[in-house]
A and B are shown apart, each in its own frame.
Chain A
Amino acid sequence: MRRHREWVRHLICAFVRDSEQAEDLAQEVFCRVHERRGDYVAQGKFTAWLKRVAVNVARDYLRRRKRAVLVPLETVENTLAEDSAFDPAAAFASRMLREEIREAITSLPQEQRQVLILHYFGERSVEQIAAATNSPIGTVKSRLFHSRRRIREALAAAAAAAQEQTEQGAKNR
């Protein structure tokens, strides 16, 4: 418990934005873990299971408080990147990401950009993103759908504009 206490408290604080409340909720997390220790199947990582319990405790508290707390993009990305092999932000800056696609992703609304980067470049599942962003799974799926469509439309528009420029250039010669 001592080994995990600090990061659990930090994770909960990112959701509830109240360090004192986060301390109390972290205690609740470890109580739940003790009560439900029979539920943990020793196949996956214990920290991953513990993280899920912590996120659920934070969400339950927010639901009880009946106050929506907007989780900043940076907080979500930092939270999810803790045990990820990949840094989604680094992926976005990579030379392998085509500039046209990077521009199209940059022009997306923040919520759509967030889920697209986390899902495709951070290899996070829809369920993980929903938990970290405090959103329904359907909302995450919808944002992914719309983000893909917007990128496709942006690239098609860019290609059409480039084609038009080429044809205009050929006419002017």
Chain B
Amino acid sequence: MKDEMMIRMSTETCGVLANVGKHYPIEFRYLHHSYNALLQAAQANHPADAFLRALPKLEGDISDVSPQEMHILFAQLRIALESLQESSPGEAARLAAAADR
């Protein structure tokens, strides 16, 4: 899976989790499978990346994981992938120039 797709999925999941309990109750615990799959795919794309290696896999009893905690997991993954996109010199220069405009 491409990084861009994983970033999009993480971003949209973060948006959904931000509304859990606030606007509508949804079952969110199935998302741990999605998170682990995305993390695995990201690490497969970038096996030497220290940031991705530092991210936790969600294992064992997840019944006490809150929506906010699930959100943090996806948010960390999102930061790692977005920063990877910027880490190529050409991309970094382009993004820095765009941000300064």
The reply to whether B95 and A145 contact each other, CB–CB distance below 8 Å, is yes
Picked from B20, B68, B76, B99, the residue with its CB within 8 Å of the CB of A145 is B99
Given A85-B22, A94-B68, answer yes or no on A152-B87 (Cβ-Cβ < 8 Å): yes
Q: For residue B82, which residue of chain A has the nearest CB? A: A148
B55 at the interface (CB under 8 A from A): yes
A126 to chain B minimum Cβ distance, whole angstroms, is 10
Checking A123, A149, A156 against B86 with a beta-carbon cut-off of 8 angstroms, the contacting residue is A149
Instruction: Name which residue of chain B comes closest to A83, CB basis.
Output: B22
Contact A138 B101 (CB under 8 A): yes
* A16 vs B69: C-alpha distance when bound (angstroms): 35
Confirm or deny: A142 has a beta carbon within 8 angstroms of a beta carbon on chain B: yes
A122 to B33, CA, bound (A): 23
Q: Is the CB of B51 within 8 A of A145?
A: no
Instruction: Answer whether A101 and B92 are a contact pair too, CB < 8 Å, given A85-B22, A91-B71, A96-B69.
Output: no
Most chain B CB within 10 A, of A95, A123, A151, A156, is at: A123
In the complex, which residues 47-98 of chain B have their Cβ closer than 8 Å to any Cβ of chain A?
A: 50-51, 53-56, 65, 67-73, 75-76, 78-80, 82-84, 86-87, 92, 95-96, 98
Starting from the known contacts A86-B71, A94-B68, 9 additional A-B residue pairs (CB-CB under 8 Å) come to A85-B20, A91-B71, A91-B72, A94-B72, A100-B54, A145-B95, A148-B79, A152-B80, A152-B84
Task: Offer 26 A-B interface pairs, CB within 8 angstroms, sorted by A.
Answer: A85-B20, A86-B68, A86-B71, A94-B72, A96-B65, A96-B69, A96-B76, A98-B56, A98-B76, A116-B79, A120-B75, A120-B78, A121-B72, A121-B75, A123-B15, A138-B100, A138-B101, A141-B99, A142-B96, A145-B99, A148-B79, A148-B86, A152-B83, A152-B84, A156-B51, A160-B50
Which residues of A are at the interface with B, using a C-beta cutoff of 8 A?
A: 84-87, 90-91, 94-98, 100-101, 116, 120-121, 123, 138, 141-142, 144-145, 148-149, 151-152, 155-156, 158-160
Interface of B toward A, CB cutoff 8 Å:
14-15, 18-22, 50-51, 53-56, 65, 67-73, 75-76, 78-80, 82-84, 86-87, 92, 95-96, 98-101
